[in-house]
Amino acid sequence: TAFGFRQVGEGEKQGLVDAVFHRVADRYDLMNDVMSAGLHRVWKDAMVAWLSPPKRPGFKALDVAGGTGDIALRIAEASGSQADVTVLDINGSMLAVGRERAEKRGLGANLTFVEANAEELPFPASSFDAYTIAFGIRNVPHIDTALAEAFRVLRPGGRFLCLEFSDVGMPLLDKVYDAWSFHAIPRIGQVVTGDGEPYRYLVESIRKFPNQENFAAMMREAGFSRVAWRDYSGGIAALHSGWKI
């Protein structure tokens, strides 16, 4: 590529992603704040506000690639500690951090942690009212398979929400963002975790991820209706919404 990155094959991808998150699990929350200058909190708050989980018992949400529980904890809090949220992640180290955070916040009873792959969800069809995935789907080798699984496990009338890095449409901001992601992020990764290479790979995965329009098309392809999205911070992140009707 223009930036001299090594190309990563599909088969190799999941292994690389897993190695990164095993290594950074206990510093992951700090890294997010540093690398996004705190913005990820604003985007995640907006995601859960768009979902607006009901303040009554019985609402079941599945947060895929849920990592250390940022989205799941917000959903549980927004529901007045009434929602049942399943945090699913392929990485046990990330889930362990999430479990600890949930206990500390007194939300342990609301959250269930499941170690599994987004491409093969261990749940029957029509199990959930909502499916959320934040900064996770671009790490999954087969996005179409993950979307098909999302559609399957949602009940009819269920909601799909995906927060992901996206295409920056604003001139100038895109230049600043490029400099930040290609130069600063691998360097911060190097300092905090001792290895910048995995971050170079993560930045590259953002570049390869479909833009807002194309991801919306993939959602429709998977069966979702009323597909819409909102850009945050000039498109650095985008939130896609769809319904299983």
Summarize as ranges the residues that interact with ligand SAM (CB under 6 A). 14, 17, 21, 65-67, 70-71, 89-91, 94, 117-119, 134-136, 139-140
Alpha-carbon distance of 7 to 57, in angstroms, equals 47
Residue 227 CB, nearest distance to ligand SAM (Å)?
A: 21
Integer CA distances (angstroms), 141 to 7, 55, 61, 65, 184, in order: 14, 35, 23, 13, 26
Instruction: Calculate the CA dihedral of residues 10, 15, 20, 24 and round it to 10 degrees.
Output: 150
135 vs 229 by CB, closer to ligand SAM: 135
Alpha-carbon distance of 197 to 214, in angstroms, equals 28
Residue 204 CB, nearest distance to ligand SAM (Å)?
A: 14
**Helix 10-24 vs helix 197-208: crossing angle, to nearest 10:** 130
Q: 142-145: long-range contacts (C-beta < 8 A, 24 or more apart)?
A: 142/10, 143/210, 143/218, 144/218, 144/221, 144/222, 145/119
- 128 Rama sector, left if φ>0, alpha if ψ -120 to 50, beta otherwise: beta
The annotation status of 139 as a binding-site residue, yes or no, is: no
Structure tokens at 51: 């979902």
29 vs 225 by CB, closer to ligand SAM: 29
User: Is the Cβ–Cβ distance between 139 and 110 less than 8 Å?
Assistant: no
Position closest to ligand SAM via CB = 67
Residue 245 CB, nearest distance to ligand SAM (Å)?
A: 26
The annotation status of 68 as a binding-site residue, yes or no, is: yes
145 vs 170 by CB, closer to ligand SAM: 145
90 vs 216 by CB, closer to ligand SAM: 90
Residue 67 CB, nearest distance to ligand SAM (Å)?
A: 3
The annotation status of 118 as a binding-site residue, yes or no, is: yes
Residue 96 CB, nearest distance to ligand SAM (Å)?
A: 11
119 vs 195 by CB, closer to ligand SAM: 119
The annotation status of 117 as a binding-site residue, yes or no, is: yes
49 vs 245 by CB, closer to ligand SAM: 49
Alpha-carbon distance of 176 to 45, in angstroms, equals 24
Residue 120 CB, nearest distance to ligand SAM (Å)?
A: 9
Alpha-carbon distance of 83 to 131, in angstroms, equals 13
At residue 243, φ and ψ (nearest 5 deg) are -125, 145
Q: Which residues are annotated as a binding site for S-adenosyl-L-methionine?
A: 68, 89, 117-118
Q: Which residues are annotated as a binding site?
A: 68, 89, 117-118
